[in-house]
Chain A
Amino acid sequence: MYVSSTAPNIFDQVGQCGNQIGSEFWKQLCREHGISPNGILEDFATHGDDRKDVFFYQADDDHYVPRALLLDLEPRVVNSIQTSAHRQLFNQENVFVSPEGGGAGNNWASGYSQGERFHDILMDMVDREADNSDSLEGFVLSHSIAGGTGSGMGSYILEKLNDHFPKKLIQTYSVFPNWDNQSDVVVQPYNSLLTIKRLTLNADSVVVLDNTALAKIAVDRLKIVNPTVSHMNSIVSTVMAASTTTLRYPGYMNNDLVGLVASLIPTPRCHFLMTGYTPLVLNDVPNTATTTVRKTSVLDVMRRLTQTKNIMVSASTRRGCYISILNIIQGDVDPTQVHKALQRLRERRLVNFIPWGPAGIQVALSRKSPYVETSHKVCIYGYLSGA
Chain B
Amino acid sequence: VHNSHVADAATHVNRQVSGMMLANHTCIAQIFQRTVNQYDKIRKRNAFIDNYRKEPMFADNLDEFDMSVARKCHQC
Contact = CB atoms under 8 A, between A and B. Distances in A.
Contacts, number: 201
A196 B72 CA distance: 8
Nearest to A148: B51
A204 to B, nearest CB: 13
A191 to B, nearest CB: 10
B71 A200 contact: yes
B27 A277 contact: no
Interface in B10-26: 13-26
Interface residues of B, number: 45
Q: What secondary structure prevails in chain A residues at the interface with B?
A: mixed
Contacts of A252: none
B20 A193 contact: no
Contacts of A41: none
A264 B24 contact: yes
Interface residues of A, number: 78
Interface in A275-306: 275-279, 290, 296-298, 300-302, 304-305
Contact of B21 (A270, A316, A325, A333): A325
B64 A328 contact: no
Contact of B27 (A279, A317, A331): A317
Interface of A: 105, 107-110, 112-113, 116, 176, 179, 186-190, 192-194, 196-197, 200-201, 207-208, 210, 239, 242-243, 245, 260, 264-265, 269-279, 290, 296-298, 300-302, 304-305, 311, 313-317, 319-333, 354, 368, 373-374, 376
Interface of B: 13-32, 34-36, 38-39, 41-43, 47-48, 51-52, 54-58, 64-65, 67-69, 71-72, 75
